[in-house]
Each structure stands twice: as C-alpha cells, then as structure tokens.
Structure 1
Amino acid sequence: MNENKTQVIEFKLNNKKYCVDLNHVAEVVDKDDLTQIPNTPNHIEGVMDLRGETTTIINPKTVFDLQNNKNGKRIIVFENTNQNNNDNIGWIVDEVHQVRQITNEEIDNPIKTENVKGVIKEQTDFVIWVEPPKTQN
C-alpha cells in the first residue's frame, strides 16, 4: 500500500518538539542581530537582512502563547507564497532538531486550531505539527 509521506523539520520551543512541513521552509539560518521596529505587534521580534532581503522575524512562542524565555538561536525562514508582496517571514526557535519523514498513520488530530495541524506520537513524547505563518496581503 502506498502511504502518504511528508517531510517535516523538527524544532524546539521551551524544550518541547514542534514541526512544520518542509515544503514551506526556504532555509534555516543562525540568529543574527535583529532590528526592532517600534509599534509592532508583540509576536514580531524585529527584522533582519538576509542576503539583501528584509525578513520579518516572528516569535512563535508569543503566537502559541508559550512562556517566552527569549533564548532562540536559529531562524526558520519560510517560502513566500504570496505573489502580491515580497514579505519574507522567519520564526525564531530555540534549536532545529532534524528533518524526518512522517506518514499519515503517525498523525493524530485530537485538536484542530488555526495553528495546529496535528500531533505526531513518539515513544515517550509528542511532536506538535504546526502551520507556517500566512503572509499578509
């Protein structure tokens, strides 16, 4: 039987594992100096220059209402899927763990929210599969 398989990239926020579909990820970079922008929403940490492109850096801990200890070391930069603008978006995460392949059988959908796509069961833990940010028009 041919199972549906998806590659995801796992990352950590506050020692918990999360993942996002690898098809949405452009690259992973080390956190560099961020320029804070006044009067922006709390989840926006600032912007950074990434090869001449301004990239807005979002803190998913704020978006997901997690304790924010601000120790992110890596940035997951997402593909820009909106053809109407050039907004590049990245998430600041504590660390990037691995890229792995999952099958539909590994995914539970106990909770449906705007940000959570499902839960992947591991032997002793869970990996929360989250949706990438949506670019604004």
Structure 2
Amino acid sequence: MNLEDADQVVEDAAHVVEFQLGDEVCAIDIGAVDSIVESKQVTRVPRAPDAVEGVMDLRGETTAIVDPREFLAIEGDLSSDNILVLDRADDKQKIGLRVAEVTEVSGYAEHQIDRGDRLERIGTSAIESELVRGVIRKGATPPGEEDAPDDEVQLVLWLDIDKLIDAVSADENADNQV
C-alpha cells in the first residue's frame, strides 16, 4: 500500500465508540462523545417521554439521561451504570445515553459499512425510522479478497445520534401538547 492509498483508507473510515445496548451492538461517532461515566442518582422528570429516564448532576451540570432502546425497538436488559455523555454544540443541556457496556473504540473502512440502498434488505425499526447512518460489518474483508465466513462477521448498528436526539425531542414536544 502506498501513501496515497493509506490517506484514502483514513478518509473513508468511520471512527466510532461501540457499545452493547440490550441484545444489540451499536456505535456512534467518536466525535459525538464527551465522556463515559457511571450513573449517579437519576431524578425522574414528570411528563417526560418514556425514553427520558430523568436527569442527574454531572460535574455541576444537569444532564438528561436517555434510554435509546425506546426508539430503536431493541430488546434485552439494560441493568447498567454506564452513560455515554454526548458532546453536541447545539444542545441546551448535556445529554447522556444509558448503555449496557462500552466495548471498544474502532475505525472502519468504507467497504465494511452498508448505507443507503444497501440497508433496505435489513429490516429493523431503527433503519425504517432513519435513525441509523449505516450498518458496520465488523470482520468483513476488503473487495477482491475472499469473503469472511458469515459467522465471523458481526453487524453493528451505526446510529445517527442527531436524528435519535431529534426523535426524543419530538416525542417530548408531543407529550407536552396534551
């Protein structure tokens, strides 16, 4: 591989934080994550949407805690103290996503990511709701090489965090208009 090819791989790569969410492995862009913290006492907020567990004090700042499984229709237990605190400039307050376990920080080449029309064959509510940027095929081999066996390729939902938070906000606005 020459230097020009190396630049292309870095340019096309997705850099993500991977985490367990119920029975699924999901990821969000590493640039969207401020920190990973353990949950403290969460105070429920009256009339908040189901996805909003409540708020907690994080370093003197009120942080809304969101359970993204509500919008992704993901099953499984979420008994966890892990919170991914988001770093989004437009947010009026900090937002944290409750996740089961943060597993790794990874980079993926373009050939490992299914997007757009290639997602139509995967039927999940997250894809249908357009809350997913793509599906990462972890362990997929580059074009021109022999395909990895299906049991060696793990699918990771690459979430569009902006659309997910917009969905929570839309749900909150709908709840408050009663």
* TM-score normalised according to structure 1 size: 0.88
Work out the percentage of aligned pairs sharing the same amino acid. 30
Q: For CA contacts below 8 A with separation 6 or more, give which structure has more relative contact order.
A: 1
Runs of 4+ in 1 over 4 A off after TM superposition: none
Q: Which moved more, 1:59-68 or 1:95-104?
A: 59-68
**How big is each residue's C-alpha offset from its partner over 1:40-99, in whole Å with a ceiling of 9 and x where there is no partner?**
1000001011111100010011121223634132000111221xx532111000000000
Shift in Å, 1:16: 1.7
Aligned residues: 134
Q: Are the counterparts in 1 of residues 66 and 97 from structure 2 also a CA contact under 8 Å?
A: yes
Partner Cα distance (2:95, 2:47) in 1: 18
Given candidates 102, 118, 121, the residue that maps to 2:134 is: 118
* TM-score normalised according to structure 2 size: 0.69
Partner Cα distance (2:76, 2:46) in 1: 19
Map 1:1-137 onto structure 2 (within 5 A).
Answer: 1=5, 2-3=8-9, 4-67=12-75, 69-82=77-90, 86-109=92-115, 110-111=119-120, 112=127, 113-122=129-138, 123-132=152-161, 133-134=164-165
**How big is each residue's C-alpha offset from its partner over 1:88-123, in whole Å with a ceiling of 9 and x where there is no partner?**
111000000000111111101214542101111132
How large is the Cα RMSD of the aligned pairs?
1.7
Larger radius of gyration: 2
